[in-house]
Structure 1
């Protein structure tokens, strides 16, 4: 653009060679307008001394620190006031710079500091497979898989899983929880898996007659005799809770305490029988269909599980699709829907109108369910059949699958239940209990003597 028409000219080079070079700083060569002249006059009139402008320039170039970020200088106007005292919300890139740099304006992330970072043990599912001693226990209905976790010289806890799961998928996350890891130092856990339900199990023979619920409970006698266990603590979920309750009802001297989650004590209703019959048929003929997966997800998580934990739901869906043998699961489902009533009654035997063989469980029982579980009513019915002096019912909020969604609350409840029933979590707790009982008795004697 010609200089006469108000164009721009390059400043002369600062190296003194006299050649004009192009620089980013240019000045207009046209005569200034009246408005610009008035602004310059007012600016010169405001300055008090000629050295104020140089002092201002020197103060502008001093580095400052704002919000932990080192800035080269502050932007000030001609009066010496800071133009912008706030940190900009986004870098002031022009559209051309953003296009050339290939970046878009984003919020500055300078000097990020992570605080209160704590190390937590992950609920690793693979670690339980490595930590357990895998055994095959022979029974009258074939061999069953038992995984041993812990020192066999410690008191025994026997676990039993729910439909569509095995010992690893049902209890791995819970028993790897930090609180449960500390509890396992004082107990040995025997994870029992129903026939053909272990991960990667081959299909059972066509002529194989799957055990009934009573026969599955009777298989636990072979487990106890194989490992030389005189008394155990039962820990079951869903169908496994029903099996452990049957075993405890038939052999009360073999079970010292029970922790049952979503336990059903009655026979299956028409709706459950119809749904599960169709599921068993589809599993035999078509394999793991989407309808079967949806019913299993409802059985474990209730309604709308994606809204609570999407990743956990996807993991269980992948397990049902890939790691479960459909034929073996159909046999277990068929045995579960043909279960009979546990014949438990809170009233003592001999009461008019009750069955002579109807008795309740004699050992301490903690009956647990989730507030979003579809089995809440079943646990209420089961609680009405238990002796209130040695049983308790607990509903944990905001969950359906308690072991996965609320492991901390369940672990604390289980620990307090065992401690309250006299199962010492350590020798020091026994000593502390004796000291507290002795102090209470001594205080009672002092009160009596004062009176």
Structure 2
């Protein structure tokens, strides 16, 4: 996937790194990543054969949260790191405007913190967003246990850099109960955390996610279609289910797939479900899945 690196200067939050591929006159396929990740976390999934066919119909815009690029310099001490709300309501609109992309009819794919950010964007840009695919999304503020884990991880990152405590938290956050079965992937992710990330910048992103506000009561105001996705062994299943129960059932669906990290564990089923979801929006009608998986298409949950 050929991509162009762009650096967009925002009004309040300085430079934001964005990676763009495809014709900017097309609809935007927008991605926002989770804590402990950056835009590269989507690459393997977006290169899946079924996804390549889908994405040929879009301009792909991948936003990197400030300071989360590989080898990023430490953000200044006086830098005001954006909140989840500011990322969604200020940073994303400014980035799309600066890129000159067709900002109407946006489709979004977000994971964890990125999914939270995309929800907030959709609620203030209701007529620009057609649909969102949200992986491991929680619309609640952090619970006491999660808050404590994230607080410790953030403090340890600031004091020591990457360390076993923070590493363990981030592995749990991304792999959940599937981590014991994915030793090779977990080892690779661990090496990436130690060698590629600016740990102080990561601590600031974790801290902002830990401090996120609750918007459960606003979910029914979302006008776009939403596909909620979680893994059966994810650490966030209950959060996703609870968030889904607060959504308008006429505009939302929930998909549960085997595994922890669904983009890695079930890329074919996720891609197929995204294809059906987008076709339900009247998009990518000419794209046909390479292999129709049996019994994996999304359906309403019985929650």
| Higher RCO, Cα 8 Å, sep 6+ | 2
Q: Kindly state the Cα deviation for residue 248 of structure 1 after the two structures are TM-superposed.
A: 0.6
Q: Which residue of 1 aligns with 2:190?
A: 317
TM-score (norm 1): 0.61
TM-score (norm 2): 0.90
> How many positions carry a matched residue from both structures?
284
Q: Which residue of 2 aligns with 1:284?
A: 158
Q: Which has the higher strand share?
A: 2
Give 5+ residue unaligned stretches, structure 1. Answer: 1-127, 347-358, 429-451
Q: Contact conserved, 2:54 with 2:284, CA < 8 A, in 1?
A: no
Q: Which residue of 2 aligns with 1:93?
A: none
Instruction: Say whether 1:263 aligns with 2:123.
Output: no
For 2:188 and 2:48, locate their aligned partners in 1 and report how far apart those are by CA, in whole Å: 18
Q: Contact conserved, 1:146 with 1:193, CA < 8 A, in 2?
A: yes
Q: Which residue of 2 aligns with 1:225?
A: 97
Q: Kindly state the Cα deviation for residue 306 of structure 1 after the two structures are TM-superposed.
A: 3.1
Q: Which residue of 2 aligns with 1:360?
A: 221
For 2:199 and 2:230, locate their aligned partners in 1 and report how far apart those are by CA, in whole Å: 27
Q: Residue 257 of structure 2 is aligned with which of 396, 400, 403?
A: 396
Q: Residue 144 of structure 1 is aligned with which of 16, 26, 36?
A: 16
Alignment RMSD (CA, Å): 1.5
Q: Which residue of 2 aligns with 1:172?
A: 43
Q: Which residue of 2 aligns with 1:133?
A: 4
Q: Kindly state the Cα deviation for residue 158 of structure 1 after the two structures are TM-superposed.
A: 0.6
For 1:266 and 1:283, locate their aligned partners in 2 and report how far apart those are by CA, in whole Å: 24
SS of structure 1 residue aligned to 2:62: strand
Q: Which residue of 2 aligns with 1:352?
A: none
Q: Kindly state the Cα deviation for residue 427 of structure 1 after the two structures are TM-superposed.
A: 9.1
Q: Contact conserved, 2:30 with 2:106, CA < 8 A, in 1?
A: yes
Q: Kindly state the Cα deviation for residue 280 of structure 1 after the two structures are TM-superposed.
A: 0.8
Instruction: Say whether 1:335 aligns with 2:208.
Output: yes
Q: Which has the larger radius of gyration?
A: 1
For 1:425 and 1:235, locate their aligned partners in 2 and report how far apart those are by CA, in whole Å: 19
For 2:178 and 2:267, locate their aligned partners in 1 and report how far apart those are by CA, in whole Å: 20
Give 5+ residue unaligned stretches, structure 2. Answer: 289-303
1:97-112 counterparts in 2 under 5 A? Answer: none
Q: Kindly state the Cα deviation for residue 361 of structure 1 after the two structures are TM-superposed.
A: 1.4
Q: Kindly state the Cα deviation for residue 149 of structure 1 after the two structures are TM-superposed.
A: 1.9
